[in-house]
Amino acid sequence: MTVHPTDLADPQLPHWLFQAALSAVNGETAVRNALAANGGSSRGPEYAPGYTHVIALGKAAASMMQGALTVLGDGLARALVVTRQGYLDAGLCADERIECIESEHPLPGERSLEAGTRLLAFIDEAPLDAHLLFLISGGTSSLLEVPVTGIDAARLAELNRWLLGAGLDITAMNRVRSALSVIKGGRLAGRLAGRNARALLVSDVPGDDPSVIGSGLLVVGEPRGEWPAVPDELAWVDELAQMPLRPEAATPVSVEIVASLGKAMDAVVAAARLRGLPVFRHDAFLDGEAAATGERLARELIRSEPGVHVWGGETHVHLPDDPGRGGRNQHLALAAARVLAGHDHVRLLAAGTDGSDGNSEDAGALVDGDTVARGGAEGLDAADCLARADSGRFLAAAGDLIHTGPTGTNVMDLVIGIVRDRAGD
Ligand SMILES: O=C(O)C(=O)CO
């Protein structure tokens, strides 16, 4: 394969590859395709006028709902859409059949409790012979909750603040969330009263396990991993988790993953090949500490052959008490930038496919061998910003942030490395 240094040097290339990935896992397209494939020539009963009740939850809810609406048309009876603040679509919510709720993320609160209560009522209001179509994406864990007795909004926020800052992986976090919820851990399936139900999922968890996505509302999973050590001030977590929950007969739900990190990575590979560029797909899931991962990938890229490299996953950051602006992708990118300093042939993009990274409004960052110098010229110190979890401030000063707004999907994070031929420097 011929290497085109001019293409690998194209300033737009990393953005273009990231956009190709986002399009391939877009919630609207994924739902539309899944329903159209199912309808085909022998359209199922969900298309009968006024028969289907849609429940769209998570960061990609509005976009997934749009996909369902396009295919169902007047097959849609009613819908409930629960998504993150700022992620709704005004046109969608103008449809009087569609009830829209903006809820809280990444920390659940009062509105998450209201949304959880509304979800149960919405299901109860659907006729017993209705078809329930669930469209679930990540973010659901925070956006909706019906907790066990003894947990109010303040405790819920306290619990999740600890879970998000403790460096736990999503499986461990959701194990705790599920133990304290009457809808998570598959328990929502016990509230469907035998209604015919189908779920389409956009996966934001490693291994695409439906019992982990959105804390597995409809699918009971095997408890996996260690129960984490709970800090003393949260002793009520262990106490309440031991209380037995009333078992309810679960209604079987057909579950299908319609978009995933793997598909997003495939799309980067295909887009690079389309340009005739060499591409290296790294399948090992990125799940380590963000800064250490960024440094490791930067070292690998410096030594690598020219071409496009793609990784996917979800790293984590141990947050200090008073974190600054940023998220795991920006943290990873800034740590990588320190290693890349002076190496002009490498660029690295790290971004969340949902368009938001940590507590910032940015998706991530695109760094290069000059990032540290650019931020330094603005009076900032990269090591200091990393120590204070303030990578966003540094990257904003360096002009390296990537902003997409809500993307209509959520399949974890992508890291795209571009290595140019050194002769072209
Ligand atoms: O983001 C969430 O809601 C999860 O728990 C994983 O999908």
- CATH number of domain containing 203: 3.40.50.10180
Evaluate whether residue 4 is within a structural domain: no
Query: What spacing in Å lies between the alpha carbon of 216 and ligand 1's midpoint?
Result: 8
Q: Are residues 66 and 192 in the same domain?
A: yes
Atom of ligand 1 nearest to the CA of 174: 5
Evaluate whether residue 101 is within a structural domain: yes
Residue ID of nearest Cα to ligand 1 atom 5: 214
Among candidate residues 199, 231, 259, the one where a domain is terminated? 259
Query: What spacing in Å lies between the alpha carbon of 180 and ligand 1's midpoint?
Result: 15
- Token pair 């690598």 is found at 304
81 φ, ψ (degrees, to nearest 5) = -115, 120
Among candidate residues 211, 242, 259, the one where a domain is terminated? 259
Evaluate whether residue 2 is within a structural domain: no
- pLDDT of 186 reads 93
Evaluate whether residue 6 is within a structural domain: no
- pLDDT of 225 reads 72
Evaluate whether residue 7 is within a structural domain: no
Q: Are residues 106 and 243 in the same domain?
A: yes
Question: CA–CA separation, 167 vs 176, rounded Å?
Answer: 14
Q: Are residues 36 and 74 in the same domain?
A: yes
Among candidate residues 235, 259, 283, the one where a domain is terminated? 259
User: Which residues have CB under 6 Å of ligand 1?
Assistant: 138-141, 170, 174, 204-205, 213-215
Q: Are residues 211 and 290 in the same domain?
A: no
Atom of ligand 1 nearest to the CA of 215: 5
Residues 107, 108, 111: CA angle, nearest 5 degrees: 135
| Domain CATH number, residue 286 | 3.40.1480.10
Instruction: Outline where DSSP puts E strands in 58-143.
Output: 76-84, 98-103, 131-136
Q: Are residues 72 and 187 in the same domain?
A: yes
Q: Are residues 64 and 51 in the same domain?
A: yes
Evaluate whether residue 228 is within a structural domain: yes
- From residue 175, how far is each of 93, 117, 121, 169, 185 by CA, in Å? 33, 21, 25, 10, 8
Query: What spacing in Å lies between the alpha carbon of 208 and ligand 1's midpoint?
Result: 11
Say whether the peptide bond before residue 306 is cis (omega within 30 degrees of 0).
no
Query: What spacing in Å lies between the alpha carbon of 279 and ligand 1's midpoint?
Result: 30
Q: Are residues 282 and 198 in the same domain?
A: no
Query: What spacing in Å lies between the alpha carbon of 141 and ligand 1's midpoint?
Result: 5
Residue ID of nearest Cα to ligand 1 atom 4: 214
Q: Are residues 279 and 382 in the same domain?
A: yes
For the whole model, what pTM was predicted?
0.91
Query: What spacing in Å lies between the alpha carbon of 59 and ligand 1's midpoint?
Result: 9
Which segments of the chain have a pLDDT < 70? Answer: 1-6, 38-46, 247, 423-425
Residues 6+ apart with CB under 8 A from 138: 58, 59, 60, 202, 203, 204, 205, 213, 214, 354, 410, 412
| Structural domain for 338, as ranges | 13-22+261-420
Pocket perturbation via mutation, ligand 1, pick of 142, 178, 200 by most ligand atoms within 8 A of CB: 142
Pocket perturbation via mutation, ligand 1, pick of 215, 328, 353 by most ligand atoms within 8 A of CB: 215
Atom of ligand 1 nearest to the CA of 58: 3
Q: Are residues 236 and 174 in the same domain?
A: yes
Q: Are residues 367 and 228 in the same domain?
A: no
Question: CA–CA separation, 193 vs 13, rounded Å?
Answer: 51
- pLDDT of 394 reads 98
Atom of ligand 1 nearest to the CA of 143: 3
Evaluate whether residue 305 is within a structural domain: yes
Query: What spacing in Å lies between the alpha carbon of 276 and ligand 1's midpoint?
Result: 36
Query: What spacing in Å lies between the alpha carbon of 138 and ligand 1's midpoint?
Result: 4
CA-nearest of 21, 213, 227, 219 to 136 is 213
- pLDDT of 164 reads 86
- From residue 69, how far is each of 65, 109, 216, 370 by CA, in Å? 6, 29, 24, 47
Question: CA–CA separation, 375 vs 369, rounded Å?
Answer: 12
Atom of ligand 1 nearest to the CA of 177: 5
- pLDDT of 2 reads 46
Q: Are residues 278 and 206 in the same domain?
A: no
Domain total in the chain? 2
Q: Are residues 265 and 349 in the same domain?
A: yes
Evaluate whether residue 1 is within a structural domain: no
Query: What spacing in Å lies between the alpha carbon of 347 and ligand 1's midpoint?
Result: 30
Atom of ligand 1 nearest to the CA of 173: 5
237 HSE (CA, 13 A, CB side): 22
- pLDDT of 63 reads 98
